[in-house]
Homo-oligomer: A and B are copies of this chain.
Amino acid sequence: MDAADARDPTRVEGSATGQASARRMPPSSQEAALLDAAEELFYEEGYQAVGMDRLRTASGVPLKRIYGLFPGKEAVAVAMLDRRDARWRGALDTHVRRHEDPHRRVLAVYDWLEERLVGPGHRGCAWINAFGELGGTSEPVAEAVRRHKASFRRDLGVLVAEAGASTATADAIHLLAEGLLVTGGIVGDARAVARTAAEAREAADRLLQSTAAGSRIAGL
């Protein structure tokens, strides 16, 4: 790195044309900028519809450096999915733990998913979409999707266990969440997403109640 960076290490964009530039950006910021652009563009348009050139333009990271950071486009996609996984599940955890009641926490999962699904430009679950596009041709991407889905399922299992419900109920809570994710992504408009989320939440509530009722009947 050079003296200019030392003088202004916060400098991130500097092009006169207004497009992002990675000039003098430290490598870690460049990687972040690249993954930011990849996350947004791949999510909105798909993986194959976005070329490396658009990633370069949107992130301001030169092609030469992109290929210095990652061996190829596929690796960028995997890194993006993994980074998103950490952030996504962290945000979900933060959201649900704002509630004290363990039962309410489980239902709050659906609130959070609904919020995520109705935003502008949203197109469902990034991992489901990635699997749909690349699951058949890219094993690394397929594995990243399986990692995320397994982690999500595990996280839900913990929440449901804390609510005192059975593992069978946890399984159902998970399938309802996946059903909401895929259906909410496809239907498109916000009203339908809200309706679908309400359906999932109500079904989850019924299953949690019936577990509790069963437990009471069994004297647990």
Chain A contact residues, CB within 8 Å of chain B = 44-46, 48-49, 123-124, 127-137, 142, 145-146, 149, 168-169, 171-172, 174-183, 185-188, 196, 199-200, 202-203, 206-207, 210
Residue on B nearest A121 in the bound complex, by CB: B136
Residue on B nearest A49 in the bound complex, by CB: B137
Residue on B nearest A199 in the bound complex, by CB: B171
Complex Cα gap A178–B176 (Å): 8
Taking CB atoms, residues of chain B closer than 8 Å to A44 are 136
How near does chain B come to A152, taking the closest CB pair, in angstroms? Answer: 10
One complex includes copies of this chain to the number of 2
Q: Can you name 11 extra interface pairs (CB under 8 A) apart from A142-B186, A145-B186, A146-B186?
A: A44-B136, A46-B137, A129-B135, A131-B186, A135-B186, A149-B183, A168-B199, A175-B176, A179-B179, A206-B207, A206-B210
Q: Can you sample 27 A-B contacts with CB below 8 Å? A: A46-B134, A46-B136, A48-B48, A123-B135, A123-B136, A124-B131, A124-B135, A127-B186, A128-B182, A129-B133, A129-B135, A131-B132, A133-B133, A146-B188, A149-B183, A149-B186, A149-B187, A168-B203, A171-B199, A172-B206, A175-B180, A175-B183, A175-B196, A178-B182, A178-B183, A182-B182, A210-B210
